[in-house]
Structure 1
Amino acid sequence: MPSTSSLNTLKDLLIAQTRDLYNAETQYREILPSLLSSATDDELRKEITDITELVDANISWLEHACTHLNVEPSGVTCEAMRGLIREARDTISKYGDPYVIDAALIANAQRIAHYQIAGYGTARQFAKVLGEDRVADIYGDLVRHAGNVDQRLTKVATGGWFARGVNQRAETAA
């Protein structure tokens, strides 16, 4: 959140959080094509493609939340996401075993999903307290979607009944 804005009310905080989360999603959207091109596992590539579509929808829903709160979504930089994106860019720039790189990409994406879960869950609670039911509903959907992404990424990493996951393949690499 920017240091230049004041936080005198819970609504100020909800607005700051909403704008921060909007910026986080736009930053994430920018790196997703690079994550996709770096991934080699077919299931991971499918998940990143699905995440891209979800992030596009998240941006739209956050714009709706901003409209409801009578605020422009832009104008804030999410420093936390900037750090998470920097780590993902570092992973993309590495050379090595494709399974190990895929495992690292999953770790990057799960960190981002966990950030989303925390941010959306907190904003949902602020909106509930303020009686901003529509905004709370938007955040409820967003936190649920981020949780689903996290679970799907875990399945790609760990595998299933009949398939080894990326982590098991990375463990036997080189």
Structure 2
Amino acid sequence: MSIETMQELLIDELKDLYSAEKQIVRVLPKLAKAASTPELQETILNHLEETKGQVARLEQIGELLGKKMTGKTCVGMKGVLEEGSEVLEDTEKGLVRDAALISASQRVEHYEMAGYGSAREFAKILGLGDVASLLDATLAEEKNADKKLSIVSKQVNAAAKRAS
């Protein structure tokens, strides 16, 4: 499919984000189980619930636009998540793995922030204020998740350094 209009570009971006979020929902429980610190586990599990809400929000946007959000695979997120899964194979359970999990999780958050920021701007320029507001809510959640990971990383990284 050739994208020729901003509307088509917005729909394509939304489908990509929907695929990304669905992939994340499948991976987060595994990451939470692999984390050794309760703070990291809690942060991941809280974001899992938030991510489920983001999937529902994207479905709501699809209803507003009269479009299904299915039909596309976010190859970028697939790669970011595969890279993050390597952490589980390459590190022993413990604080160093937790530090690596945080790094991988923040890559996911930054990828999402880029996508949601762009989609929000596309919606704004198309005069779709309701869609832009929903995307802005998700963008704020992603930024907050990144901030929480940064806070946890300070504790985990310092503890990992002391332990090694």
In the superposition, the TM-score normalised over structure 1's length comes to 0.91
Mapping of 1:61-80 within 5 angstroms?
61-80=57-76
Instruction: Give the structure 1 partner of residue 143 of structure 2.
Output: 147
Aligned position for 2:42: 46
Aligned to 1:20: 16
Unaligned runs of 5+ in 2: none
Counterpart of 1:14, as a letter, is L
Unaligned stretches of 5+ in structure 1? 159-164
Among residues 25, 29, 38, which one is paired with 1:29 in the alignment? Answer: 25
CA shift digits 1:68-92 (9 cap, x unpaired): 1111111100011001110121112
Q: Which residue of 1 aligns with 2:157?
A: 167
Matches within 5 A, 1:53-64: 53-64=49-60
Q: 1:67 offset after TM fit, Å?
A: 1.2
Q: Which amino acid aligns with 1:120?
A: Y
| C-alpha contact (below 8 Å) 1:34/1:92 kept by paired residues | no
Calculate the TM-score normalised by the size of structure 2.
0.97
Paired residues in the alignment total: 164
Sort the Cα spacing of 1:31 and 1:97 in 2 relative to 1 into closer, same or farther, 3 A: closer
Deviations 1:34-82 (A, max 9, x none): 1011001110011011010011000000111111111111110001100
Sequence identity (%): 36
Indicate the RMSD between aligned Cα atoms, in angstroms. 1.0
Contact persistence 1:7–1:13 (CA under 8 A): yes
